[in-house]
A and B are shown apart, each in its own frame.
Chain A
Amino acid sequence: MRRRHVIGSLGALLAGGCSKIGDSAAPVSLFDSAERWHKQAQRLLAGRYSLAPEFDRSQVSPYFRGNGSRNVDTPEYAASAVSGFADWRLAVTGLVEHPLSLSLDNIHRLPQRTQVTRHDCVEGWSAIGEWTGPRLSTILRGAALKPEARFIVLRCADTLAGTQYYESIDLIDAFHPQTIIAHKLNGEPLPVRNGAPLRLRVERQLGYKHAKFLTGIEAVASLAGIGGGKGGYWEDRAGYQWYAGI
């Protein structure tokens, strides 16, 4: 009786697994399925809007490591940095009712959120910093998303290995209360190595999702046709997981 039951459930499991593999072109899609299960399980268990831990100001790391691209190798960026990025613009485009072009001054005048959070790199290291900036949701509400918008693409000024960096998140993460466009680290303007003058903080995901050197926010219906179509620089280039909550 018990044995039949065990065999029955195993059979169901295998059949389920095989149809999954059968549906797909390559075993790679089983990895994609696992990524989707992780995302769904995490949002089911931990909640869509539960907060990443915030720390005391005294717990900030003495130095915040820079990683990935630590500079933007163009004369325009160098010139802009000299002027304190006075000419920097953040474009809000795509599927929005009111496209915007925000200056740093505009960004500073929006309601600000300051949070002391931990940055977890996919490689395994962590650092704690105090970030300040407006919520992404404030900017998106100002631009008014069209109903067909499903993802937010972050456009960046930096290039890695000759390719423009970009990232993308879904609307759940975009409207998360801790998702901000940071312009300050530990009370100072963002250092160049950490993405000056603007970077994304999306606290419930790994470091490579936190796009630096932001030049644009673009609302899109699909990630296909953008970059390599996988939703971000590392996703396109090296097969990193688009959902980086684990």
Chain B
Amino acid sequence: MACRGDTGERVDPLCGQRTASSGSAARRHLPRPGRARVRRHGLSVRLWHWVNLACLVTLFMSGLNISNAHPRLYWGEWGFESARAWLTLPRFPGWMTIPGHYSLSAARDWHLLAAWPFAGGLAFIWLTMLLTGHFRSDLMTRRSEWRPSAIRADIVAHFQLDFDSADGKLNFLQKLSYGIVLGVLLPGMVISGLGISPGIEPLARPLIELVGGRQSMRSLHFIFAWSLFAFFVVHVTLVLLSSPLTQVRDMITGGRHAA
């Protein structure tokens, strides 16, 4: 997750901390050691990022084990035979699943335990982003960014592996993908997960009816999960293409480089 260099005087909520930098143009790109003190990622973002990664990996891998119990997806309220399924998933091998052998009960244990820090962490990061203004200043898109010419320029820049926007903040495609992940896919995982729980169903009923039934909700749970997996692949690929060691180190330390 990239948050570009901070400017000298202001306190950037994502990048988080007060920075005492010289105001040179270097900050607009990846921090260069020895040039400025720059913090790219605030503490709350870094904490959440790694806790969220651990939760998502656990949820995804235990989810694949649960998927093996009944690998067919349906739309509507019910479904149990292949004739009604819109998709039959492959059987996921042990090395992809938690635990490493087929155990629906153990996979559910891991899945339902990891769901708590996952949902709590999501609530935490949203509260933090809204309270500190990080969401408004760094993630919310501006109307000008939606111009086709601006989007085209952003895509071209991406293909040239130039991910830095002119003002040193997230560019449009980054805002859009992080917005979809934070605003749609991650909350969607929580809501669709609760939506397939028979105990919570009386509460979630309007949402379940909105998507067409419990089995539709279950299908969405899988679709959101695989969308997050696709994001993960792109996210990691882009990190690997753009100085991976610096990126990972900055997401751990915050990316402050001594002057």
Interface assignment of B214: CB less than 8 Å from any CB of chain A: yes
Number of interface residues of B (CB under 8 A): 41
Does B199 reach chain A (CB closer than 8 Å)? Answer: yes
Given known contacts A46-B199, A238-B105, A123 and B69 CB-to-CB distance under 8 angstroms: yes
- Give the residues in chain A near B106, CB-CB below 8 Å: 239
Partner-binding segment picked from B27-35, B153-161, B167-175, B200-208:
B200-208
Q: Is the CB of A118 within 8 A of B214?
A: yes
- Chain A interface residue bracket vs B: 35 or more
Contact with B along A1-37 (1 / 0, CB 8 A): 0110011001000000000000000000011001101
Whether B198 contacts A128 by the Cβ 8 Å rule is no
Stretch at the interface among A152-160, A191-199, A203-211: A203-211
**B208 / chain A contacts, CB cutoff of 8 Å:** 53
The CA of A241 and the CA of B197, in the complex, are separated in Å by 13
Q: Is the CB of A34 within 8 A of B113?
A: yes
Chain A residues near B146 (CB-CB < 8 A): none
B47–A122 contact, CB under 8 A?
no
**B78 and A122 within 8 A (CB):** no
B202 lies within 8 A of A121 (CB): no
Q: With an 8 A cutoff between CB atoms, is B101 at the interface?
A: no
Interface string of B215-236 (1 = CB under 8 A from A): 1001000000000000000000
In the complex, A57 has a CB within 8 A of chain B: no
B239 within 8 A of A: no
Q: Is the CB of B105 within 8 A of A239?
A: yes
User: Known: A46-B200, A239-B109. Contact between A118 and B116, CB under 8 A?
Assistant: no
Q: Which residue of B lies closest to A124 (CB)?
A: B70
* Residue B79 interfacial (CB < 8 Å): yes
What string of 1s and 0s marks CB contacts (under 8 Å) between B93-114 and chain A? 0000000000111101110110
Query: How far is B163's CA from A179's CA once the two chains are assembled, in angstroms?
Result: 58
Return the 6 tightest CB-CB contacts between A and B, nearest first: A245-B199, A124-B70, A50-B202, A125-B80, A246-B197, A42-B199
A-B contact sample (19 more), CB < 8 A, given A61-B78, A238-B105: A2-B43, A3-B17, A3-B43, A6-B47, A34-B116, A38-B199, A52-B201, A65-B81, A123-B70, A124-B66, A124-B72, A126-B74, A126-B77, A203-B198, A204-B202, A239-B109, A240-B105, A241-B105, A246-B112
CB<8 Å pairs between A and B, sample of 15: A2-B44, A30-B113, A31-B110, A34-B115, A38-B112, A55-B77, A120-B198, A122-B104, A123-B104, A203-B198, A238-B105, A240-B105, A240-B108, A241-B109, A245-B198
